[in-house]
Chains A and B, each alone.
Chain A
Amino acid sequence: MNVQLPTGRELFESKRPGSADIAWCPGCGNFGIRNILISALAELGLKPNQVAIISGIGQAAKMPHYINANGYHTLHGRAIPIATGVKASNPELTVIAEGGDGDMYAEGGNHLLHAIRRNPDITVLIHDNQVYGLTKGQASPTTMKGMKTPTQPWGVFEEPFNPVALAVALNASFVARTFMGYFRESVEIIKKAIQHKGLAIVDILHPCVSFNKVNTYTWYREHTYWMDDHDPYDREAAFKRALESDPLPLGIFYINERPTFEEMVPAYWKDRTPLWKREPKLELVKKFFEARKL
């Protein structure tokens, strides 16, 4: 693959001393996702201080440390509510919630469901390698049936989680899947996800070179295809595509333009100022007390 890196990327290259020591295994798909994300941010012309990357826990969640942008490395599964709070407090920020399949689909599953209902204007990037890497190879919600792991020595018998079908079923605002091995396509999808007004979910397939011996780079290439003839505004078609399992379709499954959380909350009806710039409305408190004299 001939990777042409765009200019503007250097803005997002962290020079902090702690960023130098990258904790990912050699060959890890997270490196590719990092490159994709940096390129997407740079190509969108964003500045590091306008972006906030909120991550959960796990190898994927270490992303904020390897990028020069605002970041908050939080708790397992909690990136989405935290990112929602960030965006709702300052809608001027580009907010990205990032984590792995365990982070977003297991520990944080409930938050994902309700974020889809709430529709904050954030981008949720899920590094989906179908295994728990940081804890050394246990099955994740997306692990395929039959895969043997140290904690599932008899082989996984649970039905794998289908994030795309779930998101379409819940009428999510933007649903896509990509494989990080396809650099240019992935950059384009993530750019569209960031630009999309509303919650954008991108399931990013990537290999875990240390613990997933099934879903390798080659496996993903052989078991995925790009949807060239798909209308993302057709929900029924999106759902049908979402149910396909081998090969897995890649691309934007579904777009559903609807009002965002920040547009709906009364706090911003008349005033678009970020919350941190606002001051207490003491006159209104006084008025409240006056009314309580009656």
Chain B
Amino acid sequence: MAEFREEVSIVLGGAAGQGVQTVEEILTYALKKSGYHVYANKEYMSRVRGGINTTEIRVSSRRVRAFVKRIDILVPFNRGTLSWVEDRLSEGTVVLGEKENIEEAFLGKINLVEVPLTKMAMEVGSQLYLNTIAAGLIVGLFHGDFSAVEEYVRKRFGSKDENVVKKNVEAAEKGYELGVKLCEEGAIRVEISRDEKVKDEVLLTGTEAVGTGALAGGMNFLSFYPMSPSTGVSTFAAQHAEEFGIVVEQVEDEIAAINMALGAWFAGARAMVSTSGGGFALMSEAISLAGMAENPVVIHLAQRPGPATGLPTRTLQGDLNLVLYAGHGDFPRIILAPGSLEEAFYLTAEAFNLADRYQVPVIILTDQYFVDTYYNLPAPDVGKVRFERHIVEAKPGYRRYELTEDGISPRAIPGYGEEVVIGNGNEHDEWGDITEDAELTIKMQEKRAIRKLETIKRNAPLPKLIGNENAEYLVVSWGSTFHVVEEALEKLGSGKVAHLHFSWVYPLNPEVRRFFEGRKVIVVENNVTGQFADLLWKELGVKANHRVLKYDGRPFSVEEVLEALKGVVE
């Protein structure tokens, strides 16, 4: 008998278009509602139909937020799934499914619990019900709240006719009963205590965390060109465009997307573009314009492996150098990389204030792993979001590029005040008109590239230190690797190691240096060269003693980070 206590990692695998995502949605929803902590993440192939896509769902009595390699229960919906996840299977893995979906080579080697999903679906009336049965089955293993499944089915299929809802509920019920029976018969035993508080928490994806953050930050304009894995944020904005009053436009190319956003900010809107590395590459020219014209803009960049088209549906933290150096000439920018969904919400909201205050491009770096991650969390506190408006009225004599001590010129917008506003991508005088004056050029270069940068640096928040301040080792994470490092360190349980997480990636406050003094530094990042480790060296003179890198297009698992740390920490 296979027994799982306090935590179970379930992986569902099937072809694109087979409905694995539907099962994922029903499960996360129903299990959360039943009082379990849930985490889900998917990996998928760059194709519309076929191939093999998998979803991992962790169900736990305590908060879980990171990807694990381990599979406790595997539900294959097609043949080929087992080979695809072979290196994640162990003696303890239970395969719940039909023999037809299991390659011969695995038969006899795995703990197979046969469940006649297709037969059951046909009994209900069609193969179409297979997903709902599977979802019901898994909720049944937990003796979860069946009414939550029913509620979800009603919500999801409610717009279709009542018969569809009825049939799906019937299918879920059949699955649920089988799940309960499997437990009673002793085939599987899952014992996870519930946490009543979870029921009142929200279930969000990385995409929604960025999207809601943008809404809370006052985003009212979004222009985009579709590109995986960033499109979700644009879809989210489009779906809320009417309710929130957002201008959302799918444009002809990424060049138009960012230029439209620059125009929108010039006229006082709070605009965002959402893209991925290849799209951002096309935007570099406009990034440079934003730098010269001191035009605010917010960019969400969901990273995927490059160069060029790379691996379109997979993950990497490989675009840090791109956003650090994009655009010609010297000018500051701000780079943020949220580590948790809460951070994604607050940081994205704040990105709009930062862009407005400093009049620079603000880039929010996520990645495929991050945007496709789900988990339950207490609803972010909307009351904590500050709305800062840094627009001034253009009074007579107004000068858009007034030379100031801190490098920030008060920004007026057309139509507010009687004076006019001149923006310019050419070198300019204080009014915004073209100049080729040598002395003025020096002043303007220094204003943008030195004084303004210094102001941003001085006000840049410090990274988050978790653990012993005097630890011998310091594990550094940035962006999406936060939770996986966090859990690996918990498992390592060594007092000699502390965790330093950067969600404000650039520019770094010089104060940051002190965190590193006297420590052995281990930088964990999802790319082949260690781009952030290089940045620490360049900006602060901090040397990474070890780089833990992963670059196969997959996210780090807790096990991998743990193993890597064990190899370094004595």
Contact = CB atoms under 8 A, between A and B. Distances in A.
Given A265-B249, A289-B212, A74 B293 contact: yes
Interface in A121-174: none
Interface residues of A, number: 67
Name which of B223, B252, B435 has the most chain A CB atoms within 10 A of its CB.
B252
A288 B212 contact: yes
Interface in B223-263: 223, 240-249, 251-253, 255-257, 259-263
Given A89-B267, A278-B218, A114 B252 contact: yes
B434 A86 contact: no
A86 B217 contact: no
Q: Could you tell me the dominant secondary structure of chain A's interface residues?
A: helix
Interface in B407-430: 413-426, 428-429
B419 A49 contact: yes
Given A49-B394, A62-B434, A279-B218, A289 B266 contact: no
B33 interface: yes
B568 interface: no
Contact of A285 (B212, B268, B271, B417): B212
Contacts of B385: 280, 282
Contacts of B216: 280, 282, 285
B491 to A, nearest CB: 30
Contact of A278 (B240, B245, B266, B433): B245
B425 A71 contact: no
A85 B221 contact: yes
B221 A275 contact: yes
Interface string B373-414: 000000110110101000100100000000000000000011
Q: Could you tell me the dominant secondary structure of chain B's interface residues?
A: mixed
Interface in A62-101: 62, 64-65, 68-75, 78, 81-90, 92-93
Interface in A271-287: 271, 274-282, 284-286
B269 interface: yes
Contacts of A1: none
Contacts of A213: none
A51 to B, nearest CB: 8
Contact of A265 (B241, B253, B256): B241
Contacts of B380: 289
B203 A72 contact: no
A90 B244 contact: no
Interface residues of B, number: 82
Interface in A225-273: 261, 265-271
Contacts of A284: 215, 243-244
B204 interface: yes
Nearest to A73: B424
A91 to B, nearest CB: 10
A178 to B, nearest CB: 26
B267 A90 contact: yes
Interface in B171-216: 199-204, 208, 212, 215-216
Contact of B425 (A74, A278, A285): A74
A69 B433 CA distance: 12
A131 B340 CA distance: 54
B351 interface: no
A68 B414 CA distance: 12
B289 interface: yes
A50 B431 CA distance: 18
B251 A265 contact: no
B501 interface: no
B170 interface: no
B268 A276 contact: yes
Contacts of A181: none
Nearest to B151: A294
Contacts of B217: 280
Interface stretch (A2-10, A13-21, A36-44, A214-222): A13-21
Contacts of A18: 428-429, 431-435
Contacts of B242: 266-267, 269
B375 to A, nearest CB: 12
A19 B433 CA distance: 7
Contact of B422 (A17, A70, A78, A276): A70
Contacts of A83: 263
B419 to A, nearest CB: 7
B475 interface: no
B293 A72 contact: yes
Contact of B269 (A73, A89, A270): A89
Contact of A114 (B251, B286, B387, B419): B251
A122 B380 CA distance: 40
A25 interface: no
A266 B241 contact: yes
A286 B382 contact: yes
Contact of B221 (A16, A89, A118): A89
A102 interface: no
Contacts of A68: 420
Nearest to B435: A18
B264 interface: yes
Nearest to B349: A280
Interface in B45-95: none
Contacts of A279: 218, 387
B395 to A, nearest CB: 11
Contacts of A73: 422-426, 434
Interface in B539-561: none
B204 A274 contact: no
Nearest to B262: A82
Given A284-B243, A293-B202, A65 B422 contact: yes
Interface string B430-445: 0111110000000000
Contacts of A50: 415
A270 B246 CA distance: 12
A75 B248 CA distance: 23
B157 to A, nearest CB: 16
B429 A111 contact: no
Contact of A81 (B200, B256, B270, B425): B256
A52 interface: yes
B263 A84 contact: yes
A49 to B, nearest CB: 6
Contacts of A118: 249
Contacts of A57: 425
A85 B247 CA distance: 9
A195 B447 CA distance: 41
A93 B251 contact: no
Nearest to A16: B431
Nearest to B422: A71
Nearest to B424: A73
A281 B434 CA distance: 39
A202 interface: no
A198 interface: no
Interface of A: 16-19, 23, 47-50, 52, 54, 57, 62, 64-65, 68-75, 78, 81-90, 92-93, 110-111, 113-114, 118, 261, 265-271, 274-282, 284-286, 288-290, 292-294
7 contacts: A50-B415, A73-B426, A75-B286, A267-B246, A276-B267, A282-B216, A285-B212
Interface of B: 29, 33, 151, 155, 199-204, 208, 212, 215-218, 220-221, 223, 240-249, 251-253, 255-257, 259-271, 285-286, 289, 293, 349, 379-380, 382-383, 385, 387, 391, 394, 413-426, 428-429, 431-435
| Across the A-B interface, the 10 shortest Cβ-Cβ residue pairs | A276-B268, A85-B263, A18-B433, A70-B414, A82-B263, A89-B269, A266-B242, A275-B269, A89-B267, A280-B218
Given A81-B256, A111-B255, A284-B215, 13 more contacts: A17-B433, A65-B434, A72-B423, A74-B423, A75-B259, A75-B425, A88-B221, A90-B413, A271-B245, A276-B268, A290-B379, A292-B208, A294-B29
